[in-house]
Chains A and B, each alone.
Chain A
Amino acid sequence: MDEMFKPSRRAFLRGSAAAAAGTVAGAASAAGPDPLITELQDWASGLGVGVDETPYGLPIEFESDVVRRNVEWLTASPISSINFTPIHALEGTITPQGCAFERHHSGAIELRKEDYRLMINGLVDTPLVFTYADLERFPRENHVYFCECAANTGMEWAGAQLNGVQFTHGMIHNMEYTGVPLRALLNEAGLNAAGDLKDKWVYVEGADASSNGRSIPMEKALDDVLVAFKANGEALRMEHGYPARLVVPGWEGNMWVKWIRRIEVTDAAVESREETSKYTDVYEDGTARKWTWVMDAKSVITSPSPQMPITHGQGPLVISGLAWSGHGQITRVDVSKDGGITWQTARLGKQGDTKALTRFYLDTVWDGAPMLLQARAMDETGYVQPTKEQLRAARGENSVYHNNCIQTWYVNAEGVAENVEVS
């Protein structure tokens, strides 16, 4: 808990709040009576919009800046590209589908449920084909999981690059998925033909032109992988793989194959383009790590941040952020206001979710002095999110993927925040 909010000092705070109130901007300090209160407003007199005006509701126009955005020059074509979730403006943990980041390798496709087929073949007893309707007949489960692109924060290997948490950390979303455990589908096809399952793999691919094939070790396939058809209660969006996608909890987003059409049991990894040319990590000496599937523990402050400056001046301030780990639960997040010299333990919004976003807060008081804001996550394995220095010492700067470094925002005396790197 923040020093300023320890109960013993609360009485003092309450007492001084009245004195401070005069300096706080906004309605409370209005010189005269507030016309929004004293004058009759249109919306309080006329009539609003009737039901069915928008059969499927969109956010109100005042929120129209809270959208996915891409940084055009990062890729050659928007068809094979990425955009970013506006995490700076979201709260809680669930990402609405409409603003959850997209990553396509050959564009998002329109695939009707009626045209959907899922094949299971390879080392199985009976190769099978399922329709979409078939999928809905298997016992299903609901789970909230984060999906993070392995390249999230990738630009920042080269130093502070993009000014905005949407762009440094926005290749992530967190949804409640409804789906069939992959193990149920494999069980249906039968795994006796595969013999010893220890060294077996499943190779998964999508129905789009890129096909985005990935190899997943059998142990994970039988553990918590889902073939999902709903997210946050409704059908998946086209851009997230309608009508069905793979959910690979805690593992890099590229493996969450969209429009999944085929699952093959094999005795070796295919070593497809997406697991050799891409999604491998080159180290300082030129050797590369492959099969780096798990997303390590990471956290970031979403507000204040470059897109969310402090606009209310000195006084009570909510520092809000997100933490997650591909290894399980987040157990603790610490926040520093001085670039990592002093840390305070933040309050976790809700504990216990595994491989899902956890919201954290530091309820504090801003004295108007500049800050170097950082957050540091710990997960249930005891792993502590590393600094940029630690990561670079371990891996060099040539990697693209798996940058889970501690992020720093410099907040100046006006409350404006900027992406920086510190010593």
Chain B
Amino acid sequence: MSKSLNFLLPGLGGAGLACGLAVASMYHNSGEARIALLEERLAQVEGHETSARKLAKEEAARATSLEAKVQEVQAAAAERIATGVNLTAPAPVPDGTLGIGRVAQAEEIAAWDVDVLPDGRGLPQGTGNAFDGEEIFADRCASCHGDFAEGVDNWPVLAGGFDTLGDKDPVKTVGSYWPHLSTVYDYVYRSMPFGEAGTLTPDETYAIVAYILYSNDLIDDEFELTHENLGAFEMHNKDGFIVDDRIAREHSAWRAAPCMENCKEETRVTMRSVFLVGTPPEGGTESVMNTATAEGLPSFTAEGPSFIPAAAPKAEEDAQAAPAPEEDQAADEGTQLAAAGEKVFRKCKACHEVGAGAKNKSGPQLNGLLGRTMGAVDGFAYSKAFQAAFEEGRIWDEDALAAFLAKPKGFMKGTKMLFSGLRKEADVTAITEYLKTATE
């Protein structure tokens, strides 16, 4: 700040002078008779200049004192940094206890403390086998993880992938990757099924864990898994893990003073972004494959780029501009609403398809939904609740759909659609419109 003041000051003086001279020359051109006046003006200009220089000197002095002040502040800041910039002193830790909180009761601890250690400590009493597990798995897990734990769509794969860990895209499953069986019990019992966590009994969990092992060809279907043998079960990848050794292996090598100049002779772009990511105003993203290649881009040396390309590839702008014209054309409200509904449908896409060639995923396809009997898609394994609705011949109309989408489990008690509901009424209206048009 003070420095730039210094630089500006001489400049200001000069500008004043130049400006005065310009005024003077104008008068000179207007006629010889005004020489007297011109001289007077020149004297004035000189006067201005002197006072400008005086001013400049004063300001320079002020700048110097400002600079001194800045230095003072900077020194103080540096000192603060050196002595640490903790906002608060550490909270005191009392010698004894503070007497806050109350004693946890045994039932409370039993309810929450269900984690299982690798050696099996923490397992509740129980037993199960793959034969029983298959049925429970089909009922409670297969809609996302597949009948054989092979995974549906994007949902996690739980079986297979052996001998792929060294490949470019390793398939990390319970069978190929997990080092301890305790983890499978611990996780399934506590966190699955997704959306209905904590509802499995210990025996059901042992049976499911046995079924996952069976799907991985690690046991036969008669093997009884119990709290006694689970901890000792040896997983395929039990020796596949080492403890973090980055400090020894990487940090020691990456502490050298870094290169600052001529660090390499030449460098060039070897790969361009695979996806261009559009950021539409309504939120989310729209990814498009980038068609541009690294060819035609300059290489770089210490002298800079090898050449300046004439025009940059326009791919990104196109990607961002692409959706716009569609929206402009969308003249009538219905189409606009349906377009909004298509965005909302992203929330459903993980489980549902709609439109030409729509198939069942973990949820049924939704073609021609309005007017359709509930639970009517062939080949989809509905819950008992939807099977009953089908028997009763209940039909999907706009009101029923709105109620269902707002609170699936409130409208259809016992549904296995694990979706918490659409909170905004506008979203429900939009998606209904979309479902109407998407199947036409």
Q: A residues within 8 Å of B by Cβ?
A: 7, 10-11, 14-15, 64-65, 67, 69-73, 75-80, 105-107, 119-122, 126-131, 134, 137-144, 159-164, 166-167, 176, 180-181, 183-184, 187-188, 190, 203, 205, 209-211, 213, 261-262, 264, 266, 268, 270-273, 276-277, 280, 282, 284-294, 296, 306-307, 334, 338-343, 351-353, 368-372, 376, 378, 381-384, 386, 390, 394, 397-398, 410, 412-414, 416, 418-423
Contact = CB atoms under 8 A, between A and B. Distances in A.
Given A180-B91, A334-B260, A414-B312, A69 B279 contact: yes
B98 A351 contact: no
Contact of B187 (A79, A273, A340, A369): A273
- Residue among A280, A341, A368 with most chain B CB within 10 A: A341
A11 B279 contact: no
Interface string B341-361: 000001101110000000000
Contact of B104 (A128, A161, A162, A410): A128
A423 B285 contact: no
A137 B100 contact: yes
Nearest to B265: A341
Nearest to B420: A107
A73 B279 contact: no
B273 interface: yes
Interface string B237-250: 00011111110011
A423 B266 CA distance: 8
A69 B302 contact: no
B275 interface: yes
Contacts of B262: 341-342
Nearest to A417: B316
5 contacts: A138-B100, A271-B182, A372-B267, A410-B297, A422-B269
Interface residues on chain B, size class? 35 or more
Contacts of B98: 137-138, 188
B183 A273 contact: yes
Interface string B284-312: 11010010101001101110110011011
Given A270-B115, A270-B117, A352-B81, A140 B91 contact: yes
Interface string B414-437: 000000100000000000000000
Interface of B: 3-4, 7-8, 11, 80-81, 84-88, 90-94, 97-98, 100-104, 108-109, 112-113, 115-119, 144, 153-156, 165-170, 172, 174, 177-180, 182-183, 186-187, 190-191, 194-195, 197-198, 240-246, 249-251, 254-256, 258-277, 279, 281, 283-285, 287, 290, 292, 294, 297-298, 300-302, 304-305, 308-309, 311-312, 316, 346-347, 349-351, 420
Contact of A342 (B178, B260, B277): B260
A184 B197 contact: no
Tell me the dominant secondary structure on chain B's binding face: loop
Given A10-B3, A121-B109, A306-B273, A413 B308 contact: yes
Contacts of B182: 271
A343 B263 contact: yes
B293 to A, nearest CB: 11
Nearest to B94: A187
Contacts of A410: 269, 272, 297
B55 to A, nearest CB: 19
Given A163-B290, A286-B170, A129 B108 contact: yes
Contact of A271 (B166, B179, B302): B179
Contacts of A122: 113
A176 B86 CA distance: 12
Contacts of A131: 101
